[in-house]
A = this chain, B = another copy of it.
Amino acid sequence: MAFKIGLLGLGTVGTGTVQILLNPAQRHPLVQELELYRVGVRSLAKPRSVALPPSLITTDLDAIVTDPEVDIVVEVIGGLEPARSLILKAIAHGKHVVTANKAAIARYGAEIFTAAEAAGVYVLLEAAVGGGIPVIEPLKQSLCANRILTVTGIINGTTNYILTRMQTEGGDFADILADAQRLGYAEADPTADVDGMDAADKIAILASLAFGGRIKLPEVHCEGIRQVSAADIAYADKLGFVIKLLAVAKRESQLPTESTEQLQLRVHPTLVPKSHPLASVNDVNNAILIEGDPIGQVMFFGPGAGAGPTASAIMADILNIAAILKVQQSGTVRSHGTPVLDPLLACSHQSYCTIVPIEALVTRFYARFLTRDSPGVIGKLGTCFGNHDVSLESIVQTGLRDNLAEIVVVTHHVREGNFRTALDEIRAMEAVSSIASTLRVL
Contact = CB atoms under 8 A, between A and B. Distances in A.
Contact of A331 (B23, B306, B316, B339): B339
A191 interface: no
Contacts of A29: 343
B342 A323 contact: yes
Contacts of A306: 296
Contacts of A6: none
A326 interface: yes
Give the 8 A-B residue pairs with the shortest CB-CB distance, closest first.
Answer: A331-B331, A294-B308, A134-B142, A145-B315, A298-B302, A330-B340, A25-B256, A295-B312
Contact of A339 (B146, B280, B327): B327
20 contacts: A29-B343, A31-B145, A132-B294, A132-B298, A134-B134, A141-B320, A145-B318, A277-B280, A292-B312, A294-B308, A294-B312, A295-B308, A295-B309, A324-B324, A327-B327, A327-B340, A328-B330, A331-B332, A333-B333, A333-B334
B315 A301 contact: no
Interface string A58-92: 00000000000000000000000000000000000
Main secondary structure of the interface of A (DSSP, over half): mixed
A297 interface: yes
A235 B334 CA distance: 68
A55 interface: no
B323 A343 contact: yes
A26 interface: yes
Contacts of A20: 145, 294
A24 to B, nearest CB: 9
Contacts of A212: 28
Nearest to A331: B331
A303 interface: yes
Contacts of A302: 295-299
Contacts of A295: 132, 302-303, 308-309, 312
A147 interface: yes
Interface size range on A against B: 35 or more
Interface in A350-387: none
Copies in the complex: 2
Given A294-B309, A329-B332, A316 B30 contact: no
A329 B341 CA distance: 11
A137 interface: yes
Interface in A259-318: 277, 280, 292-303, 306-309, 311-313, 315-316, 318
B144 A137 contact: no
Contacts of A340: 326-327, 329-330
A335 interface: yes
A342 B257 CA distance: 35
A138 interface: yes
